[in-house]
Amino acid sequence: MTAPPPPLGLLAELTHRCPLRCPYCSNPVELSRASAELDTESWGRVFREAAALGVLQLHLSGGEPAARRDLPELVAHAARAGLYSNLITSGVLLDAPRMKALADAGLDHVQLSVQDAEEGSADRIGGLRGGHARKLAFAEAVQAAGLPLTLNAVVHRQNLDRLPELIELAITLGAGRLEVAHVQYYGWALRNRDALLPSRAQLEAATRTVTEARERLRGELVIDYVVPDYYARRPKACMGGWGRSFMAVSPAGRVLPCHAAESLPNFDFPNVRDASLADIWTHSEAFQRFRGTTWMPEPCQGCEHRERDWGGCRCQAFALTGDAANTDPACAHSPHHHLLDLAVQEASSATGDFTYREMPKLPSAV
């Protein structure tokens, strides 16, 4: 097998700790404790190895990365390695002095998540009273520090009707980019699918809103739009294809082809404590298993799109069919495509509440 091209991006999940309890959180259901997290120097080594491998962009995420007190030191490690650093944050643990410290350490960009444009709904979805107000104050601190800001609005059934207000919020906060990201259903979001999955009418209205706003705000605000697969007929090239352009490192050091891959069974994901990023990227069985096209079943194997969508999402295939090697049900040619229709029907009549993201409780003393 020829050596793969180098990855362009690395997602560093610094911690699973977070004061928010979002029911669509992309972290695995089994969360890592602080005691299992890589230390500062280990992350610094990972960043140097990433730069040597060819990574250009480093995304510092969590959980909430600001839960780590050494975040400025980690940013400084990234800057010394020559990586462009993007902080993906809820903003609720950061204030103006901490933001300035991060900027002084070499941070390049901030991506701030919001749960809604309306305060009461935003705090209910995030599970933290006063969280929305803290986010607005943090956005001002980003502007004061002179860093570019992206607003990340995760949208779903319970906030999608306020998409116009979310777009206006991005302008008010001085964001140069807005990511309108429909929930992707694995991990915590899969547990909450019936409460989150929008109707087709909501999706179509949102698409019209984004199309109009892109034209109206051309040159003022860039809008990225990530749609849910449950109404699709063609799958997306998940993370650019398994093991092709992206890698993630979990808080405990496991290296993954995508941030949700820990949901897949029968994988022994390698760890940066035991091997270099270069060796993991090039030689590990976990990265090679679904890389390229030779692993694909029919109808993917004979499909003209196989080197465009790379088989779609392995985590979604597993979540819906029980086998990560199956054709992604988002594809209309998948024998499992009907499962998406069933999920939409179930969600349309559901009235359940959220199951909030929670850290595991420590066992009782004996």
Is position 238 annotated in a ligand binding site? no
Nearest to 232 by CA among 97, 93, 331: 331
d(CA 58, CA 278): 16
Are 58 and 85 contacting, i.e. CB atoms less than 8 angstroms apart?
yes
Kindly state the DSSP code that residue 63 receives in the 8-state scheme: S
Rounded CA separation 219/8 (Å): 26
Closest CA to 114 of 67, 71, 172: 172
Query: Would you state the structure tokens that stand for residue 92, as one six-digit string?
Result: 């609720």
Integer angstrom CA distances of residue 352 from 29, 44, 346: 19, 43, 11
User: According to the annotation, is 22 in a ligand binding site?
Assistant: yes
* Torsion from C-alpha of 59, 62, 64, 66, nearest 10 degrees: -50
3-state secondary structure of 356: coil
300 is in an annotated binding site: no
Q: Which residues define the annotated binding site? A: 18, 22, 25
Annotated binding site for [4Fe-4S] cluster: 18, 22, 25
